[in-house]
Amino acid sequence: MEIDPFIFRFSIFILAIFIGYYVVWSVTPSLHTPLMSVTNAISSVIIVGAIIAALASSSNNIFETSNIFGFLAIILAAVNIFGGFLVTQRMLQMYKKKKKDKK
Amino acid sequence: MISANLSAIFYLISGILFILALRGLSSPETSRQGNFFGILGMIIAITVTFLTVGNFSNAIIYVLLFLVIGGAIGAFIAFKIPMTAMPELVAGFHSLVGLAAVFVAVSAFLNPQAFNLGSPGNIKLASLIEMSIGAAVGAITFSGSIIAFLKLRGIMSGSPITFIGQHFVNLLLGISILALIYYLCTTQSESFFWGMIAISFIIGVLLIIPIGGADMPVVISMLNSYSGWAAAGIGFTLENTALIITGALVGSSGAILSYIMCKGMNRSFFSVILGGFGGETSTGEKQKKDQKPVKSGNAEDAAFLLKNASSVIIVPGYGMAVAQAQHALREMVDALKKNDIKVSYAVHPVAGRMPGHMNVLLAEANVPYDEVFELDDINNDFANTDVAFVIGANDVTNPVAKTDPKSPIYGMPVLDVEKCKSVLFVKRSLSPGYAGVDNELFYRDNTLMLFADAKKMTEDIVKSI
């Protein structure tokens, strides 16, 4: 009997939750704010779905309703990706300055 | 155009890079490398998606255009945002992830062929359930985050909004979402899909309005978690490993942060969710405090105490950030260090308005991160310290949490500030903090109240030292 591919994806999902659990507990509390902004940025990998949706062509019209939702999702996710990573970078940069100041 | 198998491998790689991005945050030294891994993972995921779709119609121009527009807006916000506004920013970003999840789900529902999910009106059952979950959680994340954003920004009052039968209404709406998903699966009818999304938006609002300002750190962490589960739901729909892994990581990350925040306030997760905390002040306590004597002093008194100390612990709170006093504070600490006084900072887990907020604010003011300590690491040091300098913090120093079982904050871990030889408490007035509880510390013999704006007081102290 064959195993449904869903079960494989579900296994990946559960294992990733465990990885997340252990990795996040090892994050130092002083970096919890950057943690939140970076998780924000990476969860915008949902842009992958948005790009597929935007480029999907069932007809010659590239502005079908489903495409438009894709375009909108791209804007939202792009704001998040750039905003999330850059603001994280900005915060982490401040932690670096300190080290140099001290030494 | 690359094969589905090859692209799946690349998605796995970007998933692993995202894990490494979080792993990097275990110490400030490795954190920047971690962020780089995250960016790399994102670039790989996006590039592979373009290559997999392969079929570059005219639409690609618009995709790139919107990518650039969104990116420019994001970059602009990232550089402009003041660090005190991080909680609002993160709440705002959560809402975008939520809405993006809804849009992708809608798009997949309208054009399932593009995602290999069947045809309109005949979508695979599993995919239908997955996209419904993704859309529902996404919608809740969106509207909930908008409310959180408005509350944090001060556009909406931070006090809880409750009405009779609130939990019953929420329960009813929750059940109706499940019912709509069931009917959607049996009939494939579009109207059930839209109805489910609409109700999810309403639930998101109703879930967050009863939660008070003091509990906002929990709310942000919780919405962080939701945005992850929404992404994972979409990941299952799209059969995309990178999205599934990321969703799981973000979901568990937000859940852990919520747990840490709840523990920091000694509140159960459910009591936070049910809300109604942090709004009222009991009048009985107000009368009591008028009768008690309070010692107050000025900047010279404070400077004198500080100069004659050999060790000082600074206890910063959100009030410090509001007054923008962190830079003045750092100048004060520099002056003290010149006099060979040992200075460290004590940060409570819920200081500030989101997890780790205070650490970022101190880092911005050039405070070395190895001088900043967490509650557990520093709490025993107060007894051997000459002066505790409390600036902008309140509830987290209240000894009542240890002594009075009747107090609403009883059992909350607090900083043992009162064990210092003397306590300097910078505050505008004797008003209680977020929890609405009078702080016993104000009336202790070894407490000197400094009634002033935090920034001005700190600057005056610097002058007097």
Angle, helices A47-55 vs B241-265, to 10°: value is 140
Q: Report which DSSP code applies to B387.
A: E
Q: Work out the pLDDT band at B288, boundaries 50, 70, 90.
A: very low
pLDDT digits (tens, 9 = 90+) for B88-143: 999 999 999 999 999 999 999 988 888 888 888 788 888 889 999 999 999 999 99
pLDDT at B280: 41
What are the backbone angles phi and psi of residue B307, rounded to the nearest 5°?
-65, -35
Sheet with B342-347, strands from edge to edge, namely B372-374, B342-347, B311-316, B387-391, B422-427, B447-451
pLDDT digits (tens, 9 = 90+) for B417-449: 888 888 888 887 777 766 667 788 888 878 888
When mean pLDDT is compared across A87-91, B132-136, B455-459, the lowest value belongs to B455-459
Helical residues (DSSP H) of A26-64, grouped into ranges: 32-43, 47-55
pLDDT at A102: 42
Interval B194-206 mean pLDDT? 93
Catalytic-residue membership of B416: no
Catalytic residue among B340, B377, B395, B438: B395
Arithmetic mean of pLDDT over chain B: 85
Write the ipTM: 0.92
Higher pLDDT, B9 or B400: B9
Cβ-Cβ contacts under 8 Å, A49 against chain B: 104, 107-108, 115, 234, 237-238, 240, 243
Q: Do B97 and A17 touch (CB under 8 A)?
A: no
Give the minimum alpha-carbon distance from A13 to chain B in angstroms, rounded to a whole number: 6
pLDDT digits (tens, 9 = 90+) for B112-126: 888 888 888 788 888
Q: Do A67 and B107 touch (CB under 8 A)?
A: yes
For residue A99 the two structure tokens come to 């080290």
Interval B167-188 mean pLDDT? 88
Interval B219-241 mean pLDDT? 91
Three-class DSSP labels, B121-174:
CEECHHHHHHHHHHHHHHHHHHHHHHHHHHHHHCCCCCCCCCCCCHHHHHHHHH
pTM of the model: 0.88
Residue of A nearest to B82 (CA): A87
For residue B424 the two structure tokens come to 């300097």
Q: Do A49 and B96 touch (CB under 8 A)?
A: no
What are the backbone angles phi and psi of residue B385, rounded to the nearest 5°?
-110, 145
Q: Residue A82 is nearest to which of B55, B63, B78, comparing CB atoms?
A: B78
Cβ-Cβ contacts under 8 Å, B99 against chain A: 73, 76
What are the backbone angles phi and psi of residue B123, rounded to the nearest 5°?
-85, 145
B81, B104, B259: which to substitute to probe chain A, counting the most A Cβ within 10 Å?
A: B104
Q: Work out the pLDDT band at A103, boundaries 50, 70, 90.
A: very low
Whether B374 and A29 have beta carbons less than 8 Å apart is answered as yes
B80, B102, B111, B378: which to substitute to probe chain A, counting the most A Cβ within 10 Å?
A: B111
Whether B44 and B17 have beta carbons less than 8 Å apart is answered as yes
Residue B282 has pLDDT above 50, yes or no: no
pLDDT at B275: 63
Q: Residue A86 is nearest to which of B70, B75, B231, comparing CB atoms?
A: B75
Interval B202-216 mean pLDDT? 85
pLDDT digits (tens, 9 = 90+) for B351-374: 877 888 888 888 888 888 888 888
As beta bridge partners, residue B388 has B313, B423
Q: Residue B115 is nearest to which of A37, A52, A62, comparing CB atoms?
A: A52
When mean pLDDT is compared across B58-67, B153-162, B412-421, the lowest value belongs to B153-162
pLDDT at B145: 94
Cβ-Cβ contacts under 8 Å, B245 against chain A: 12-13, 16
